[in-house]
Structure 1
Amino acid sequence: MATLPHNPEFDCKSEAKAARWTKYISRLMNYFIIANDVESDERQKAMLLTFVSEAMNDLIDELPPEQTTPGKSETHFDKLVSAVQDHFNPQNNTEYNRKLNDENRQQRTNRPPCPQAQTSHRPVNCIEDDQQNSTSGSDTEYVFHTVLGQFNTLLEFGGISCQADIHELKSLEKPIIGWDTCKRLKLLSANKLPVNHISNSETQTPQTTLKLLEDYADLFNGLGRLKGEKVHPHIDGNIPPIAQRYRRVPFHIRKDIEELICKNEELGVVEKVEGPAPWVSPILVVPKKGQNKIKICIDMRAANEAIKREHYPNLRLDELKAILSGANVFNKFDLNQGYNQLELAEEF
């Protein structure tokens, strides 16, 4: 009988364990073929545990039973190989990934870990331990900051200095400075800037603003309309009118809806229709964020099918730069209820 070639042990302490484990199992399958076609599941598992090193046997013994116990359609050998593969894969094994990063960081820093580690749930000033290992890819696994150590030192910036507590975190984030320290070093400020404003309170309104409100009182009352222009939508006569069904609204906001409709009718935004209407579009009530108010939207999707679109070219960024070249004063307008200020032509 010919002597079988020796199958080497698996080194579980070197780098790239997952990739090397895949190659090791591939060579082991070739060994099974040479050794008189070893096809028995029990023999394959026994030979695997025999050939791998003692360290690998210890590692396999520590795997959870649910990871190594095969199902109905699985073999002991395949289940064991898959369990070890998942153990060596950082994406599937958070604990191994974290341990691998600790070992790599320990080799780079050449110092023992702090025995008094604690978990911090509050923002702190921190100095980061080291940059992320390019092969680990595990920064998304850390949820809480683990504090490795703490010390107090003097920070200085622009001639201003202050004492601050520095925490060294077991994380892979960029170093940060807390808000209080930034304020003491005057790195950031939250001062209110003086702005021109319009107010109804006479005690806080400058005389120039009061005169402005008096001279142009008609502009600060009501909603207003766009003067000199009326909207003439292009209607496609081939589209038949559609009267959509009414959408129910919650009872507790019906009073608010009625008040808003009456207000818009007084402002001339809407008008009451008498008799049958060929087009009927349902409303959608939306609460205003942070306010105890509502706004009414109309579902015009069916009606928009009958409106012919007008096409206009949009300006590109380089065209806008050319137009705004040399400009140094810019205005910002809040077009509140801008669509409600556009008046439809009488025939519509």
Structure 2
Amino acid sequence: MSEEDNVSTPSTDYAFSLTEDEYYTKVNVNMGGICNQMIIDSRASCNVVDKQIWEELKAKKIVCASTKVNKNLYPYGSTDPIEVIGTFTTNMSVENSDIVEAEVMVIKGKGPSLLGRKTATLLGVLKIGLNASINVIQEKANINQEVFHKYKSCFEGIGKLKDFLLEIPIDETVSPVAKSLIRIPFNLREKLENKLDELEKLDVIEKTDGPTPWVSPVVVVPKGDNDIRLCIDMRRANEAII
């Protein structure tokens, strides 16, 4: 770093994370002629490297202009600043990208190298906005179509887990509740009978005989095309599930 200090009012930047997490996307960035791996951080307002990386970059003769500065850098959600020992400005690029001039903060201590929102966007490795969201949705839709065609038999009919008995842990201290049945409008009764027969034939439901301490009422909900949907009010029964 140069010995010149910037004595102006300190500006403030934010680094979202200074911990190594496996779900962050990493890219190889050509920084002043030296390749360095950085984490794309869409919520960071600056680029960050720690002192150890800075010393390695200097040893490899990085092309840059460095200076000591009066800046504040805060981790996301924290009021305790990270000590910034200086900054440097250098050219950055990733594979097949344009060259971008960017400032990088050097922090005291140890942490992963962060590629901030502005620089990552200029390098084309981060896309934010409506068009970017639409592109991501379209890419996922294409992947889903590929999976659907590859495993088409898995998407036929109604999915059902067979030869498996689900055991639901019950809190025995909760007293069973037999709720009163909800009166079904006369014009929906025939549709209800037909729907119960349909679901039984599809093996979605099955008949059972004998008394039960729990009764949860059926709620009939009209839906389009002159059809109905059957729902069950399980709020009281759910209270007994651990």
The alignment's TM-score, normalised by the length of structure 1, stands at: 0.25
Q: Which has the higher contact order (CA 8 A, sep 6+)?
A: 2
The alignment's TM-score, normalised by the length of structure 2, stands at: 0.35
Structure that is richer in helix per residue: 1
Structure ID, larger Rg: 1
Structure that is richer in strand per residue: 2
